[in-house]
Amino acid sequence: MRRLAKLMTFTALAYVPAYLLDLALKAVVEAWGASGPLIQAVLIARMWIPGLAALAVIRLSGERVAEGVRKRGLRMPGFWGVALAVAAPYVAYGVGALLSLLMGYRLVNPVEKVLELMEVEPRAPPLTLLVVQLAASGVMGATFNAVIALGEELGWRGFLLDEVENAGLRRGAAAVLVGVVWGFWHAPLILLFGYNYPHHRDALGIAAFTAFCAIWSVTISSLKPLGGLYACAAAHGTLNALGGSMLLTVDVEDELLTMPVGIVGLAAGAITATLVKALALRLKPGAGA
């Protein structure tokens, strides 16, 4: 199968089922309502669509699936790749908090804010609960969340990144392009459900999230030579695990102004991408494997 045909087939298989699933979920929610667990289950299933699309195109191209995914980065990860993958979202969190203070925003303990909203009295000091929650996010991001995110990573940073690079683009440009594709893949979720942008269910929300995905695609792509697709999935999973805490840490209502997916988050993500890329270049691929 020629490269252009492979890219078109993959894009169709990644986009069309995801968009149809979004429309079906919207219809179900409007007709009968939907519980949080059901929506969460659908979102988890949706994350594996790009991976299944990659597997389908690999098979249609005449490759053996096992060899195809191994060639595209699904291997035992290197230690430094995984360590850097889990650390990157925390760095972005810290940088974002610092930028928020410089911009005059007030920072709050996200755990304390959640307990306040739930009208629950804390059973331990809020700072202790925050430390536990942050540690748990890293564990969750590198395990359960990573398994879920691996579906997307097999598609975006596994299949698509390699194909775009093999077409002649340098890794940085290829990573940005993959990030744009990744961002637009979420468009119906933003328009129909206010995914990440409850105040911006419009083109502005899609544009902001596409920029967010392009920036983080650079970070995640930089990890691939060090830790393979597992490191990519661990970074993706940890970012997802910390996302709610990031949002609640800054006392600003409009998510477009804060982090992780607003102006502060974009700036913090860009700084993190630069740091991760520089560190990844210094470390030998596979170090610590």
- pLDDT tens figures, 87-131: 999 999 999 999 999 999 999 999 988 888 777 777 888 899 999
Q: Which burial class, exposed, middle or buried, applies to 51 when counting CB atoms under 10 A from its CB (0-12, 13-18, 19+)? A: buried
Cα–Cα distance, 269 to 263 (Å, whole number): 10
CA distances in angstroms from 132 to 111, 124, 194, listed in the order given: 10, 11, 29
Question: What is the distance, to the nearest Å, from the Cα of residue 34 to the centroid of all Cα atoms in its chain?
Answer: 24
Cα–Cα distance, 228 to 230 (Å, whole number): 5
DSSP letters along 113-138, please? HHHHHHT---SS-HHHHHHHHHHHHH
- Which of 44, 42, 65, 43 has its CA nearest to residue 53? 65
- Which of 289, 235, 232 has its CA nearest to residue 90? 235
Cα–Cα distance, 74 to 92 (Å, whole number): 26
Judge contact between 12 and 4, C-beta under 8 A: no
Cα–Cα distance, 149 to 152 (Å, whole number): 5
* pLDDT mean over 273-288: 79
Q: How confident is the model at residue 288 (pLDDT cuts 50, 70, 90)?
A: very low
pTM: predicted TM-score of the whole model, two decimal places: 0.93
pLDDT in tens, 139-193: 999 999 999 999 999 999 999 999 999 988 998 999 999 999 999 999 999 999 9
